Amino acid sequence: MPGFYHFIIGLSLILLLILRPKFGKRSKTQINLISITLFVVLVLELAGAYTASQKINNTLLYNIGWIYLESFLLIAYFYSLEQSLVWRKRIVQLTGLLVIWAVLNSLLFEPISGALQYYSLLPFGILLIVLSSRLIQQILTLRIDPEEKLIYIPHFWIGFVVLFFYLEALLLFGAYQFYPEFVLKNVNIMFNLNKLMASLMYLVFGFAFVLPNLRSPMAKRGSIPLYS
CB 227 within 8 A of CB 26: yes
DSSP characters over 63-74: IIIIIIIIHHHH
CB 37 within 8 A of CB 204: no
Beta carbons within 8 Å of 60's beta carbon, 6+ residues apart: 112, 113
pLDDT tens by residue, 149-191: 888 889 999 999 999 999 999 999 999 999 999 888 888 898 8
CB 115 within 8 A of CB 58: no
Domain boundaries, the chain: 4-212
Q: Which amino acid type is present at position 5? A: Y
The one-digit pLDDT tens for each residue of the chain (228 residues) are 789 999 999 999 999 999 988 877 767 899 999 999 999 999 999 999 999 999 999 999 999 999 999 999 999 999 999 988 999 999 999 999 999 999 999 999 999 999 999 999 999 999 999 999 999 998 888 644 334 688 888 999 999 999 999 999 999 999 999 999 988 888 889 889 999 999 999 999 999 999 888 765 545 544 444 444
Q: How far is CA 190 from CA 108, 124, 160, 168, in A?
A: 29, 21, 21, 10
